[in-house]
A and B are shown apart, each in its own frame.
Chain A
Amino acid sequence: MPEFLLQLKDFISQPWLWYVAGPMIAFIMFLLLWMGREFGISANFRVMCAADGADNLADFFKFDWSSQGWNLLVALGSVFGGYLAATYFTPNQVAHVSEATVESLKNLNMNFDTGQVPLVPDFYSWEALFTLKGLLVIVVGGFLVGFGARYAGGCTSGHAISGMSALQLGSLYALIGFFTGGLIMTYFIIPLIF
């Protein structure tokens, strides 16, 4: 591989700081607006339901879902992106969380040394799916995310990024809701089930 490509690979492989990632996300939103589309990943769940025949069961799924193929391609692209990032650009799969987080994880019996917190927890696995914790995280978590995102009319991308950027009041309410739910789960429910 040419030297400059190796340097580029090393450059991308560093952990990305917030002021790199945030503007990049805004740029992605801009690219989609330029294409005449709106950034919002969770809308794909509705498209996938409709494409699987849910349009025969509820009016909510009777819409021109074939015109939403572009959004499925964004999701498909992000699957590729995840593969590329994990395989080529992330030499150590570590989440660089704060010292305080390393300490409070110990309360959940997750004992990691500083700098050794994995990017992905061990309960994202097929084995863990058949434990109470894995089942709650993956199945109940997934259900709540899918239900709540459509109820609120969007998820983190649609409301927190697209909606807030367009100064939509509804998106601010949704963001307040996201944090209300998130804090209840983090402080009152996770300590009970982990």
Chain B
Amino acid sequence: MKMSRFIIIGILLGITLYKSEAVSWFRIYEMFHFQSFHMYGIICSAIAVGVVMVQLIKRFHMKSVEGVEIKFNPKDSHWPRYIIGGTIFGLGWALAGICPGPMFILLGSGYTVLVVFLLAAMTGTFVYGYFRDKLPH
């Protein structure tokens, strides 16, 4: 089935982040203390390989499986939303030691209490959506 490929990609993501310990609160704590290269290595090598892949896609005008040329929509680079929103995200990331991907992964590994984290994150998203017009962007 066409949709099952997304489940397989998700499984791959789950195993990768679990086995590289990126799901661990302690690894995030270590990263923010600059006590190991591990997390920086993961992020930097992902970006390095990712940059090459994106450049190749652009250079060869690669098409997606649906036959459409893969496009990268430039994001608005007006900075306030990224800095303010990013800082708020960072506060939560360091406190909880998980970002959205690892939350789903740990939920699957048996930490059912993270359902509460998911509900809290949805609440946060909702509050942002509700007050969006009043916030600086």
Q: Which residues in A have some Cβ–Cβ distance to B below 8 Å?
A: 12, 15-37, 41-42, 44-46, 48-49, 52, 54, 57-58, 60-61, 69-71, 73-87, 89-90, 95-98, 100-101, 104-105, 117-121, 124-126, 128-129, 136-153, 155-157, 159-171, 173-187, 189-190
Residues of B near A139 (CB, < 8 A) are 116-117, 120
Pick from A22, A97, A120: contact of B111, CB below 8 A: A120
Pick from B33, B64, B75, B114: contact of A124, CB below 8 A: B114
Residues of A near B90 (CB, < 8 A) are 148, 177-185
**Are B82 and A173 in contact, CB atoms less than 8 angstroms apart?**
yes
Residues of A near B29 (CB, < 8 A) are 97, 101, 105, 186, 190
Interface of A (DSSP majority class): helix
Pick from B27, B65, B109, B124: contact of A97, CB below 8 A: B27
Distance A131 CA – B50 CA, assembled complex (angstroms): 41
**Are A155 and B89 in contact, CB atoms less than 8 angstroms apart?**
yes
**Are B64 and A36 in contact, CB atoms less than 8 angstroms apart?**
yes
**Are B14 and A142 in contact, CB atoms less than 8 angstroms apart?**
no
Residues of B near A33 (CB, < 8 A) are 53-54, 57, 64, 70
The proximity string for B residues 42-59 relative to A, scoring 1 for CB distances below 8 Å and 0 otherwise, is 111111111101100100
**Are A78 and B104 in contact, CB atoms less than 8 angstroms apart?**
yes
Residues of B near A161 (CB, < 8 A) are 43, 46-47, 50
The proximity string for B residues 74-97 relative to A, scoring 1 for CB distances below 8 Å and 0 otherwise, is 111111011111111111111111
Pick from B15, B87, B89, B105: contact of A145, CB below 8 A: B89
Pick from A31, A41, A180: contact of B100, CB below 8 A: A41
Residues of A near B130 (CB, < 8 A) are 57-58, 60
Pick from B15, B53, B108, B121: contact of A45, CB below 8 A: B121
User: Contacts A28-B12, A124-B114 known; A78 to B105 CB distance under 8 Å?
Assistant: yes
Distance A125 CA – B117 CA, assembled complex (angstroms): 11
Interface residues of B in 8-40 (CB under 8 A from A): 8-30, 32-33, 35-40
Q: How far is the CB of A97 from chain B (nearest CB, A)?
A: 5
**Are B124 and A76 in contact, CB atoms less than 8 angstroms apart?**
no
The closest CB in chain B to the CB of A112 belongs to: B26
Pick from A61, A137, A142, A177: contact of B118, CB below 8 A: A142
